[in-house]
């Protein structure tokens, strides 16, 4: 199975590293516009193989999409990341043109690929990719919820002082500082509701920390995060390539699901060989429904800025 990652920067290269280290694909192509950059990242990753023992072939290329031909999955991580103090939404001006161009280029050589969109503002970039390419909704999947959910589990494990692997939870809604919806009501520790162990004010703090998880890391690092984002993309790609049918919160096109239409937003999805295989209805409470509708309003507002690029 072949995966192309367009944008060999922090997130793209980390994703390639995790995919190869875990043997998720037999071939990974990294593509970037910066001369020699993807080649360098691929060479560095390949030189791990003797010591970590993987067999994935990782190669890098500058701008030549013919090398990406017949990819099963294409990941779009090209574009600029935010700096401290910025929102993801401020990236739209530069990233919209990049993402549209990349999506069109990859499809010329991999007409059957499933596209995973990572560049921010991710929900709007996913919507743009779907509209610009005309691909069916099952082949355009935005990655954000997998990452936000792993941050949610991290903050829950800290609050509970219990191992992160014993925690389950999901974040739906938009992938933005104010649009994420951590589902604290449904989060669990070894199958038991976390509300059995944590007071509401602690749960509220966990949710708030989760929502600004990306902004907190951007403040600490000077650019946005890459280890957990790269690993989250690899987790999603694994479910596609190996037909795992995992339930993962992903940004996908909604046609009435969760009361929304003509928008891409994070909802629980079954992800398998066909990409998006099912949107799962988890019966939100009235409060969660209200939050989802508010989140959708904000994402829709952002999508309105695509008028020019989609014209």
Ligand X SMILES: NC(=O)C1=CN([C@@H]2O[C@H](COP(=O)(O)OP(=O)(O)OC[C@H]3O[C@@H](n4cnc5c(N)ncnc54)[C@H](O)[C@@H]3O)[C@@H](O)[C@H]2O)C=CC1
Ligand Y SMILES: O=C([O-])CC(=O)C(=O)O
Residue closer to ligand X (CB basis): 107 or 143: 143
Q: In angstroms, what is the minimal distance from the CB of 220 to ligand Y?
A: 11
* SS3 state of residue 244: coil
Residue closer to ligand Y (CB basis): 107 or 237: 237
Partners of 261 in the β-ladder: 255
* C-alpha gyration radius of the chain: 19
Question: Which of 17, 54, 115, 144 contacts ligand X by CB under 6 A?
Answer: 144
CB 89 within 8 A of CB 174: no
Who contacts 126 (Cβ-Cβ below 8 Å, separation ≥6)? 117, 140, 141, 142, 251, 252, 253, 264
Sites for ligand X among residues 146-175 (CB under 6 A): 147, 175
When CB distances are held under 5 to 8 angstroms depending on the partner's kind, the choice from ligand Y, ligand X, none that residue 218 binds is ligand Y
| Segment contacting ligand Y by CB under 6 A, of 190-198, 218-226, 254-262, 285-293 | 218-226
Total residues binding ligand Y (CB under 6 A): 10
| Segment contacting ligand X by CB under 6 A, of 43-51, 78-86, 241-249, 268-276 | 78-86
- Is 185 annotated as ligand-binding? no
Residue closer to ligand Y (CB basis): 88 or 100: 88
- Is 157 annotated as ligand-binding? no
Residue closer to ligand Y (CB basis): 9 or 81: 81
Question: Which of 4, 110, 120, 157 contacts ligand X by CB under 6 A?
Answer: 120
* Integer Cα distance of 139 and 103 in angstroms: 12
- The reply on whether position 60 binds ligand Y by CB under 6 A is no
| Number of helices and strands in the chain (H, E) | 11, 14
Question: Which of 2, 41, 88, 100 contacts ligand Y by CB under 6 A?
Answer: 88
* Integer Cα distance of 154 and 289 in angstroms: 25
Question: Which of 71, 119, 129, 179 contacts ligand X by CB under 6 A?
Answer: 119
* Integer Cα distance of 305 and 124 in angstroms: 9
- The reply on whether position 79 binds ligand X by CB under 6 A is yes
| Beta strands in the chain, from DSSP E residues, in sequence order | 2-6, 27-32, 57-62, 73-76, 114-117, 140-142, 167-168, 171-173, 180-182, 188-189, 192-193, 246-255, 261-272, 275-279
- Is 10 annotated as ligand-binding? yes
- Give the 3-state DSSP-derived string for 191-212, with helices as H, strands as E and coil as C: CEEHHHCCCHHHHHHHHHHHHC
CB 73 within 8 A of CB 3: yes
Among residues 34, 36, 33, 42, which one has the least CA distance to residue 13?
Answer: 42
- The reply on whether position 139 binds ligand Y by CB under 6 A is no
- The reply on whether position 224 binds ligand X by CB under 6 A is yes
Antiparallel, parallel or unpaired: β 167-168 and 140-142:
unpaired
| Segment contacting ligand Y by CB under 6 A, of 135-143, 223-231, 289-297, 299-307 | 223-231
- Is 290 annotated as ligand-binding? no
175 is catalytic: yes
Interface with ligand Y (CB under 6 A): 81-82, 88, 120, 147, 214, 218, 224-225, 229
Residues of each annotated binding site for NAD(+): 7-12, 32, 95, 118-120
By annotation, the residues acting in catalysis are 175
Interface with ligand X (CB under 6 A): 6-12, 31-34, 37, 77-82, 88, 91, 95, 98, 101-102, 118-120, 122, 143-144, 147, 175, 223-226, 229
């Amino acid at each position: 199975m072949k995966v192309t990652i367009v944008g060999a920067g922090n997130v793209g290269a980390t994703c390639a590293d995790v995919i190869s280290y875990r043997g998720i694909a037999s071939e990974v192509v990294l593509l970037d516009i910066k001369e020699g950059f993807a080649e360098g990242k691929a060479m560095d990753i390949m030189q791990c193989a003797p010591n970590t023992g993987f067999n994935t072939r990782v190669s890098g290329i500058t701008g030549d999409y013919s090398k990406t031909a017949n990819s099963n999955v294409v990941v779009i991580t090209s574009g600029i990341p935010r700096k401290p103090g910025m929102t993801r939404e401020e990236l739209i001006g530069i990233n919209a043109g990049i993402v549209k161009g990349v999506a069109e280029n990859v499809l010329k050589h991999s007409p059957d690929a499933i596209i995973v969109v990572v560049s921010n503002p991710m929900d709007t970039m996913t919507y743009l990719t779907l509209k610009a390419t005309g691909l069916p909704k099952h082949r355009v999947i935005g990655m954000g919820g997998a990452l936000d959910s792993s941050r949610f589990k991290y903050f829950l494990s800290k609050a509970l002082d219990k191992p992160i692997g014993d925690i389950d939870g999901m974040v739906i809604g938009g992938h933005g500082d104010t649009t994420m919806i951590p589902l604290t009501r449904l989060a669990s520790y070894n199958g038991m509701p976390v509300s059995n162990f944590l007071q509401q004010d602690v749960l509220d703090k966990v949710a708030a920390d989760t929502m600004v998880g990306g902004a907190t890391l951007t403040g600490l690092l000077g650019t946005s995060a890459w280890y957990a984002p790269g690993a989250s993309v690899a987790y999603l790609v694994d479910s596609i390539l190996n037909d795992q049918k995992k339930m993962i919160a992903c940004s996908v096109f909604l046609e009435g699901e969760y009361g929304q239409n003509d928008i891409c937003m994070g909802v629980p999805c079954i992800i398998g060989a066909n990409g998006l295989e099912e949107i799962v209805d988890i019966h939100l409470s009235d409060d969660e429904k209200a939050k989802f509708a508010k989140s959708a309003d904000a994402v829709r507002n952002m999508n309105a800025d695509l008028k020019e690029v989609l014209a």
